[in-house]
Structure 1
Amino acid sequence: MGKPVVVIVGRPNVGKSTLFNRLVGKGVAIVEEEPGVTRDRLYREVEWCGREFVLVDTGGVVESPESPLEVAIRRQVEQALEEADLVLFVVDYKTGVTAEDQAIASMLRRTGKPTLLVVNKVDKFDPPPVLSDFYALGLSTEPIPVSAAQGLNVGDLLDAVIDRLPPEDREEERPQAEAIAVAIVGRPNVGKSSLVNALLGEERVIVSDIPGTTRDAVDTFFTWEGQPYILIDTAGLRRRSRIKEEAERQSCLRARQALRRAHVAVLVLDGAEGVTMQDKRIAGLIEEAGRAVVIAVNKWDLVPSSRKDAPRYLEALRRELYFINYAPVVFTVAPEGFGVTQVLTEVERALANARRRVREQELWEVVEEAQLRNPPPRVKDKRLEIYRAYQVAVEPPVFLLQVNDPELMTPYYRKYLENQLRAAFDFTGTPIRFVLRRHKKRREKHV
């Protein structure tokens, strides 16, 4: 990306995510008193005094990781440190220096990375806080007191960050292609994080068999065949009745927010389990958001041989998800990389189609021919008449129809017109919207 990387590290529950949210300027990371809520690396761009950098939030480091999740979190932190230009080591002013803090300090000294020691949870600066105990961590940096929750002294911290960043590259910047934001969505444990890791070729997000491992919407930047991407790995969407804790509720909210800021959604299904009611609900959220969409049928290797007939499987899937039957379907085995690059190919195609603009004359020819071939049905002894058609928006494509009476448009005929447009133009992967406006003038010849 070209921007310096600043990584936040520390033991659990010292306020890393609160600091991350404060520096980013909005609630991105989930913040809760339960230790270990942040599990994956979160990436956001920050600007201060005209200087931009990428800020990374990481999970809490424990001194002796025992559970598979603790081991995975530590591995995530170590990978983040490898790409760091600067480290913000966060400690807790109220609890003082702990053995875990000492262990993390030792790890940071071995990396040789420039480090700022951030003493969080300092609620009062008059009189000045006593920070002498924190020099025992042996870091060649003066402790910087802050209150992330209250925003106290955060400006001074940002000043220190800017001072310690590597010099800016003043070479003439080349224009870059716009990054495609892709939200990876689906219910828990269908393989979303495995798909992200396969796309990246590294373990960027934690993968486990425990449903709900990913709690934040995790942004990851990468480039494929010259095209930059932002992958948003989201927590699995659950039914509301299944949400038992605040972190899970926030995870579902993050997934919905991810859809709003994504260009394309990749709906990941468990091929072995087939389409569930929850899959349908998530597909409905994507359609409602108006996002271009690609369906990834993951775990294709686990589908029984009796059902492993792709055309028949696809036909059944189309019936279940009929309301997004325009979405391309890719069969994948994420851990083996099977079908993974095809997902990106279809993502690019879906976005291009969502941004497609149809010339007015070509659009009207299709609409006029559709009416001649199949006139609108009568409703209360009146027939719908379409006088003009315009495309007024993209992402998704929106078509304005000037008609004699909008109430005469039936769902059947609306679908018929959509099918005619899809047959004439390539709108694979994107929804289509119609807006009807009453036109009182007599029908005019279209030119």
Structure 2
Amino acid sequence: MKRPTVAIVGRPNVGKSTLFNRLVGKRIALVDDRPGVTRDRREGDGILLGMEFKVIDTAGFETEDPETLPGRMRAQTEAAVREADVALFLIDGRAGLTPLDEEIAGWLRSSSTPIVVAANKAEGNAGEAGRLEAYGLGLGEPFALSAEHGEGIVDLFDALRPFLEREAVEEDVDPEGGPLKLAIVGRPNAGKSTLINKILDEERLITGPEAGITRDSISIDWDYKGQKVRLIDTAGLRKRAKVDDKLEKLSAADTKRSIDFAEVVVLLLDATRGLEAQDLRIADQVLEEGRALMIVINKWDVAEHASSLFNGIKAALADGLSQVAGVPLLTVSAKTGKGIDAILDAALKLRDQWSIRVPTGELNRWFDHAIDQHPPPAPKGKRVKLRYITQVTTRPPTFVIFGTRVDTLPDSYRRYLVNAMRRDLGLGPVPVRINLRSPKNPYAKR
């Protein structure tokens, strides 16, 4: 079902992200006492007393030159209001109206989107004076609200209901059973947001020369050749020792949660900086979480000595990511768009390999052949007997091998089995997990 949309707008630090988190029922948007934490618009599925809708958290509205970072943030807020069925204009009830509130109200009055006004931070009667002041905005009857404490929810429901209760529109059902969840990660200023904007062919995310613009992980639904894709932009990950700011720590934790929920992760490198130790740490973290990984070198249009750079990175990855051989290495220009289709096609193929289930009969025929080709060693002269294998789960492919004395099986033999599996069973360069089990000894307790 296509859901109606609510955009939450207001000046910085009036509680927009706190209200967003309450409406979606979980702490998604970053919240901090300092103003201006939210930069890009963030979307989520909201529910209010049984009424379902899409809710958009926006950056605090500021009057700055369009070329500045606050100016680009404002452009994202304006786009969110244009797309919404209703805009929820928050003011700080305790602080009362400010000149910026009045300027925002003037802009909203010129919009074709319906507006409702709420005086937030109005626990008890703390915001009553601010609520009464808000009548002067000329945007209808304001109501009191406390996003933090959940007060005024019924009034919020009554205000939004006329704009949100309508016949739902059927959306196309994805025959594959869900969108490709594709997260873009990397160091600050690698071009993650610019790449997503080029994929979408619109200025959906704020970009610029400043490092660290993205703070929240932003997910955007999109269609590619009939396949639904959920693109996830993330905050840049710096070396942990260099991160001492509380907000940057929150952003890094948000990025790590996005990796957990992704299916395929694109690690974006900067061609002007090459491969650094932090890139390998990020890649290792992705693989440890069991996600499918691909490496993409951005800014390829300005790369110097491109061939030697590509081969150097490929060799370094072979050494640094030896646990998963053959991770796809591609190039792209987020500025021109060259290479984007190859990234998306490779990501869809990776997800298929990451989700593969091998029939038990085929799996054990392969297993017998692999053992015949290269029998397991006999540590200290005691033979390890491997009996059979079964796949217990997918995403990533996970297997259990049953046998005797498996606790003595060297890691090198386990790597042999994993590499043979990738080669022979079509698993490709995705994480593969193998667990070893011995049958219970019926005489052990005697």
In structure 2, the residue matched to 1:161 is: 160
In structure 2, the residue matched to 1:365 is: 365
In the TM superposition, residue 154 of structure 1 has moved relative to its aligned partner by: 2.4
1:236–1:252 Cα contact (<8 Å) kept: yes
In structure 2, the residue matched to 1:430 is: 430
1:283–1:324 Cα contact (<8 Å) kept: no
Within-5 A mapping of 1:33-44: 33-44=33-44
Which residue of the other structure, out of 174, 177, 183, is the alignment partner of 1:176? 174
Within-5 A mapping of 1:412-431: 412-431=412-431
Within-5 A mapping of 1:367-382: 367-382=367-382
In the TM superposition, residue 166 of structure 1 has moved relative to its aligned partner by: 5.6
CA 1:404–1:295 in structure 2 vs 1: closer, same or farther (change >3 Å)? same
Partners of 1:59 and 1:400 in 2: how far apart? 48
In structure 1, the residue matched to 2:281 is: 281
In the TM superposition, residue 307 of structure 1 has moved relative to its aligned partner by: 4.3
Structure 2 counterpart SS, 1:70: helix
CA 1:158–1:241 in structure 2 vs 1: closer, same or farther (change >3 Å)? farther
| Deviates most, 426-435 or 8-17 | 426-435
Structure 2 counterpart SS, 1:221: strand
Kindly indicate whether residue 423 of structure 2 is the aligned counterpart of residue 402 of structure 1. no
2:385–2:406 Cα contact (<8 Å) kept: no
In the TM superposition, residue 41 of structure 1 has moved relative to its aligned partner by: 0.8
* Aligned sequence identity (%): 38
Deviation string 1:111-136 (CA, Å, 9 cap, x unpaired) is 11011111101011499666221011
Q: Which runs of 5+ in 2 are unaligned?
A: 442-446
Partners of 1:106 and 1:130 in 2: how far apart? 18
Kindly indicate whether residue 25 of structure 2 is the aligned counterpart of residue 25 of structure 1. yes
In the TM superposition, residue 239 of structure 1 has moved relative to its aligned partner by: 2.0
Partners of 1:38 and 1:49 in 2: how far apart? 26
What is the identity, as a one-letter code, of the residue corresponding to 2:162?
D
What is the identity, as a one-letter code, of the residue corresponding to 1:100?
L
| Deviates most, 380-389 or 84-93 | 380-389
In structure 2, the residue matched to 1:317 is: 317
Partners of 1:368 and 1:154 in 2: how far apart? 63
CA 1:127–1:400 in structure 2 vs 1: closer, same or farther (change >3 Å)? closer
Partners of 1:209 and 1:382 in 2: how far apart? 62
2:318–2:325 Cα contact (<8 Å) kept: yes
Q: Which runs of 5+ in 1 are unaligned?
A: 442-447
In structure 1, the residue matched to 2:305 is: 305
1:351–1:429 Cα contact (<8 Å) kept: no
What is the identity, as a one-letter code, of the residue corresponding to 1:137?
L
Within-5 A mapping of 1:63-78: 63-65=63-65, 68-78=68-78
The aligned length equals 440
1:86–1:164 Cα contact (<8 Å) kept: yes
In the TM superposition, residue 357 of structure 1 has moved relative to its aligned partner by: 0.6
Partners of 2:172 and 2:62 in 1: how far apart? 42
1:326–1:430 Cα contact (<8 Å) kept: no
Structure 1 counterpart SS, 2:38: coil
Partners of 2:127 and 2:204 in 1: how far apart? 43
In the TM superposition, residue 43 of structure 1 has moved relative to its aligned partner by: 0.7
What is the identity, as a one-letter code, of the residue corresponding to 2:29?
A
CA 1:306–1:221 in structure 2 vs 1: closer, same or farther (change >3 Å)? closer
What is the identity, as a one-letter code, of the residue corresponding to 1:432?
V
What is the identity, as a one-letter code, of the residue corresponding to 2:174?
Q
CA 1:107–1:314 in structure 2 vs 1: closer, same or farther (change >3 Å)? same
Within-5 A mapping of 1:87-166: 87-125=87-125, 131-139=131-139, 141-165=140-164
In the TM superposition, residue 311 of structure 1 has moved relative to its aligned partner by: 5.1
1:43–1:54 Cα contact (<8 Å) kept: yes
Partners of 1:288 and 1:145 in 2: how far apart? 47
In the TM superposition, residue 230 of structure 1 has moved relative to its aligned partner by: 1.4
Partners of 2:157 and 2:315 in 1: how far apart? 55
Deviation string 1:26-73 (CA, Å, 9 cap, x unpaired) is 111111122111000101111234432111111111134477111110
TM-score by length of 1: 0.93
CA 1:127–1:414 in structure 2 vs 1: closer, same or farther (change >3 Å)? closer
Partners of 2:22 and 2:212 in 1: how far apart? 26
Partners of 1:228 and 1:133 in 2: how far apart? 46
Partners of 2:329 and 2:306 in 1: how far apart? 20
2:127–2:144 Cα contact (<8 Å) kept: no
1:39–1:73 Cα contact (<8 Å) kept: yes
Structure 2 counterpart SS, 1:90: strand
Partners of 2:57 and 2:173 in 1: how far apart? 29
Partners of 1:145 and 1:340 in 2: how far apart? 47
2:121–2:127 Cα contact (<8 Å) kept: no
CA 1:408–1:120 in structure 2 vs 1: closer, same or farther (change >3 Å)? same
TM-score by length of 2: 0.93
What is the identity, as a one-letter code, of the residue corresponding to 2:155?
D
2:264–2:347 Cα contact (<8 Å) kept: yes
What is the identity, as a one-letter code, of the residue corresponding to 2:389?
A
Partners of 2:43 and 2:169 in 1: how far apart? 24
Partners of 1:340 and 1:306 in 2: how far apart? 18
Partners of 1:293 and 1:306 in 2: how far apart? 22
Within-5 A mapping of 1:205-244: 205-244=205-244
In structure 2, the residue matched to 1:354 is: 354
Deviation string 1:58-100 (CA, Å, 9 cap, x unpaired) is 1111134477111110111111122111101111111211111
In structure 2, the residue matched to 1:58 is: 58
Partners of 1:262 and 1:204 in 2: how far apart? 20
What is the identity, as a one-letter code, of the residue corresponding to 1:381?
G
Partners of 1:331 and 1:294 in 2: how far apart? 11
In the TM superposition, residue 174 of structure 1 has moved relative to its aligned partner by: 5.1
2:298–2:334 Cα contact (<8 Å) kept: yes
In the TM superposition, residue 314 of structure 1 has moved relative to its aligned partner by: 2.7
In structure 2, the residue matched to 1:445 is: none
Structure 1 counterpart SS, 2:110: helix
In structure 2, the residue matched to 1:254 is: 254
Structure 2 counterpart SS, 1:335: coil
